[in-house]
Amino acid sequence: MKYEQWNIPSLPEEKIDALMGAGYPYLVSSVLVSRGVETAEQAAEALERERTLSWSPFLMRDMDKAVARVQRALADGERIAVFGDYDVDGITATCLLTDYLRSRGGDVVMHIPGRFDEGYGLSRDAILALSEQGVKLLITVDCGITGVEETAYAASLGLDVVITDHHECKETLPAAAAVVDPHRPDCGYPFKHLAGVGVALKLVLALGGNDREGALFARYCTLAAIGTVADVMRMEGENRAIVSMGLEAIGHSDFIGLHALLREAGLAGKPLSSIQIGFVLAPRINAAGRMGRAALAAELLLTGDEEEAERLARELCDLNRERQSVEQEIYARAVEQLERLPPDEKYALVLSSDDWHQGVVGIVASRLSEKYSCPSFMIHLSGGVGKGSCRSYGGFNLFSALEACSDLLVGFGGHELAAGFTIEEANIPAFRRKMNKYVREHTGRARPVSSLAVDAELTRSALITLEEVERLSELEPYGAGNDRPVFCLRGAIIESVQSVGQNRHLKVRLQKGHTVFEGIFFSVTAEEAGVGAGSRVDAAFYLQINEFRGNRAVQLQLLDLRPSRTPSAREAELLALRDALLAGEPLAPRDAARLLPSREQFVRVWRILERDAGEGCLSGPELPLLRRIAGELPGAESFLRTALCLEVFAERGLLSLERVNGILTLRLTAEGKKVELDDGPYLRRLREILQ
């Protein structure tokens, strides 16, 4: 079990039926109801995909100033530098603006900082180098909003700076020719969630004017879609339009490097969704920046040479494979390190090492946040200084948290879900303590609990067909605020498990009712899953189409498996017998005989409790706990008699028994005392019935 808690909503079946009656499929209807959509009119609105952007770029503060300064540079033939960032958002934004300015005849150089030698954002060295190349106007994309000193330095060299960014602002804005950022406190732009590439797109649309807006959006929506998905922006409003149109246009995009990358990644000619962008395309582009070669990805996206595009695409995919190998090693070392942390330092995971690759720690932070359900801070150490990457969990605002700990930091930047920071190595222990205290105070949790949000339990397994799964695409594009739907089946039976992919993944065959499903559980072994053929389980999963040798079939991409917390028909019958005895209801002699544990069974249950009750307490989901104990009992009716043994022990004062939300907690209270079990009312009554 990967997640301690599954949050499964109880959905009114009549509302699902109402949407199905209006023509929406079962799966889509279930997700819509789960997300608060109840009528056909609301469903139509929720599924609508805008084909144009809603708001004028000039509603952004300083957009008019930015356009005027860029137009002057183009008219006067000034050399322009587009200064980006080394992640996917920054790379696509750099390429988008560079391509447009060059199409206008601009003398444009692009600069993407090296992650290791320059770091994030504007730097004096880079500004000086660009000035020496004759640059007169520097335009930032996806960075610059905190570059107060760097912007002043550029001005001292005679460079004007236009800043376009989407990150959170600090109290003082740079004194630039224009500062375009929807997060400016004085910016009235209605949609605040654009990616850096989205803001760059808005600048291009403003430069092109109303007459060319449609054509420019059609050309650049593909790059904007990739950056928006990769930066995990909220998938609503203008972002939904950008990504929807970008997905439609990607197959006939003018960027030949993008087509080369699609071929190299095995996606050419296939329908693309936000899932393929997020998990196939974006990691390959990101690998260039993470491995210190961001310019490689930019060269690929901007090249006009087919042969060069093929070569660069191969090189990019090779870099991604290298990145994956490094990531696995860092992740394993990070898990070892965090297991040594005391409990009060596991609300926020602050880990550091001088062996970790600086470009990969951010991905590992994401994995740790997901696994341990808390914010994660991964720090690469070099020469007494740490470069950190952090990722949020559960909507926790990282930017505010870093502000609260800023006295211990050299610097920081980013937004509420992902950020970076620099810290002196000597300050890391104090930072760890302070950040853990901040997280405790601002989340109100006694301890982090790994939880999985399930959209819908599927109770009509026969309706999970190929066509139904295909129509889930109506919910696209997925992203923050419109997550890919998670489904679950409760009480399914595992028919078989098989290790695949050099024993790194698990192939599972599940039966629910009369329907059989094939599932794949990535990065989980049979031992880790703890299940085998015949196990009764609850399964949480994404639904997808598996294509193999021309055949297409429904596949469950498993997110978690756990021993089922719903009773089978037989278990429900047995528990009803126990409850009838406890309530004093009439019982037939045959049922009394089934209920009555033998002395050996009582002894065995007690020994199991003593063995497994750490510090005198044993807690877990009730049904799996009963099944596990019953599996060690000799004799017949072990499940039923285990359930009754616990009630007898509780009535006799040997333990306390508490049930909350399906969790059974047993606390042993005997402290060596001995009692006569037969003197209790339950066993006396059973014996009376059997006389």
Which of 553, 547, 555, 554 is CA-nearest to residue 269?
547
The mean pLDDT value for 9-27 works out to 96
Residue 110 has pLDDT above 80, yes or no: yes
The mean pLDDT value for 217-223 works out to 97
The mean pLDDT value for 250-262 works out to 94
Query: Same CATH fold, 569-690 and 341-451?
Result: no
Classify domain 341-451 at the CATH topology level. Answer: Diaminopimelate Epimerase; Chain A, domain 1 (3.10.310)
- Which secondary structure element, helix H or strand E, spans residue 546, and what is its range? strand 536-548
Q: Which residue has the higher pLDDT, 660 or 219?
A: 219
Quote the tokens at residue 381: 């150490």
Residue 79, pLDDT score: 98
| Residues 277-293: tens digit of each pLDDT | 999 999 999 998 888 88
Classify domain 569-690 at the CATH topology level. Answer: Arc Repressor Mutant, subunit A (1.10.10)
Residue 448, pLDDT score: 61
Range in 107-116, 219-228, 303-312 the model is least confident about: 107-116
Q: Is 639 exposed, middle or buried (0-12, 13-18, 19+ CB in 10 A)?
A: buried
Structure confidence at residue 522 as a pLDDT band (50, 70, 90): very high
- List b or e across 587-622, with b for residues whose CB sees 16 or more CB atoms inside 10 angstroms: beeebbebbbbeeebbebbbebbeeeeeeeebebbb
CA distance 482 to 584: 51
Beta strands in 417-484 (DSSP E): 418-424, 451-453, 456-457
- Which secondary structure element, helix H or strand E, spans residue 432, and what is its range? helix 428-443
Residue 378 has pLDDT above 70, yes or no: yes
Helices (H), 186-305: 196-208, 213-230, 237-249, 256-264, 274-276, 282-290, 294-302
How high does pLDDT run on average in the chain? 92
| Residues 53-79: tens digit of each pLDDT | 989 999 999 999 999 999 999 999 999
Whether a cis peptide bond, with omega within 30° of 0, leads into 477 is yes
Structure confidence at residue 32 as a pLDDT band (50, 70, 90): very high
Structure confidence at residue 49 as a pLDDT band (50, 70, 90): confident
Structure confidence at residue 120 as a pLDDT band (50, 70, 90): confident
Write a three-state SS string for 86-133: CCHHHHHHHHHHHHHHHHCCCEEEEECCCCCCCCCCCCHHHHHHHHHC
Strand partners, 350: 377
Residue 178 has pLDDT above 70, yes or no: yes
The mean pLDDT value for 160-179 works out to 95
Q: Are strands 515-521 and 551-563 parallel, antiparallel or unpaired?
A: parallel
CA distance 178 to 198: 17
Quote the tokens at residue 401: 């948290």
Classify domain 57-319 at the CATH topology level. Answer: inorganic pyrophosphatase (n-terminal core) (3.90.1640)
Structure confidence at residue 445 as a pLDDT band (50, 70, 90): low
Domain extents for the chain? 57-319, 341-451, 569-690
Helices (H), 265-411: 274-276, 282-290, 294-302, 306-338, 361-372, 398-404
Q: Which residues contact 196 (CB under 8 A, 6 or more apart)?
A: 85, 89, 90, 93, 141, 142, 143, 164, 165, 166, 167, 227, 231
CA distance 393 to 347: 11
| Residues 462-509: tens digit of each pLDDT | 999 999 999 999 999 998 889 999 999 999 999 999 999 888 899 999
Quote the tokens at residue 670: 């005997």
CA distance 516 to 506: 17
Residue 446, pLDDT score: 55
| Residues 540-583: tens digit of each pLDDT | 999 999 988 888 999 999 999 999 999 999 999 999 999 999 99
Q: Which residue has the higher pLDDT, 448 or 121?
A: 121
Angle at alpha carbon of residue 656, lines to 652 and 658, rounded to 5°: 135
Backbone angles phi, psi at 447, to 5 degrees: -160, 155
Residue 416, pLDDT score: 82
User: What's the longest Cα–Cα distance across the chain?
Assistant: 108
The mean pLDDT value for 627-633 works out to 92
What radius of gyration do the chain's Cα atoms show?
Answer: 30
Contact 161, 176 (CB under 8 A): yes
